[in-house]
Amino acid sequence: MKRLHDMVHIPWFCAGDFNDILSPDEKIGGLPRNRMLIDNFRNALDYCGLDDMGFQGPRFTWSNKRNGCDLVQERLDRGVCDSEWYQLFPRASIYHLEYWHSDHRPHWIEFSGLSGNFCNRNFLNHFHFAACWVEKEDCRRLIEECWGSGIWSTISISS
């Protein structure tokens, strides 16, 4: 992340599985997370000027799906952005949804409240997502509903 930050100078938003937590209270069960790993993750976000955007919904985004005292849950998935991106999308929200065929919760990210001088085409040139989502039954319909018809042909999908 630090190398990417030094190379790219555009408003920055990043969401997904960071595979780490920002504080011990983002984990229940199992062995405690090594404090050095927590500090390294926090330092990387600070270096990049990225802040956690918060969320709505259940607190933990990953579960080992075991029962009783063997259950481990963590908030490994999150959205982070820099202040420039936040100025473009001041009302953006992240929602943690119910588990769906994975040990991670999917996220719904709402980019409402576009402000300032911003070009949607520029946003699409830097937008990426996991190609496996296009295999889901309703992916195309959902993208076209949310972004408008005709947008599908402007998205390049690579694995």
Identity of the residue numbered 80? V
CA-based radius of gyration for the chain: 17
Read off the pTM: 0.70
Express each pLDDT in 131-146 by its tens digit. 666 677 777 776 666 6
Please report where in the chains the tokens 């600070």 appear, as a residue.
46
In whole angstroms, what is the distance from residue 30 CA to residue 46 CA? 27
Q: Which domains does the chain have, with CATH numbers?
A: 2-116 (3.60.10.10), 128-159 (no CATH)
Higher pLDDT, 92 or 111: 92
Dihedral sign computed on CA atoms, order 120, 121, 127, 128? positive
Higher pLDDT, 132 or 73: 73
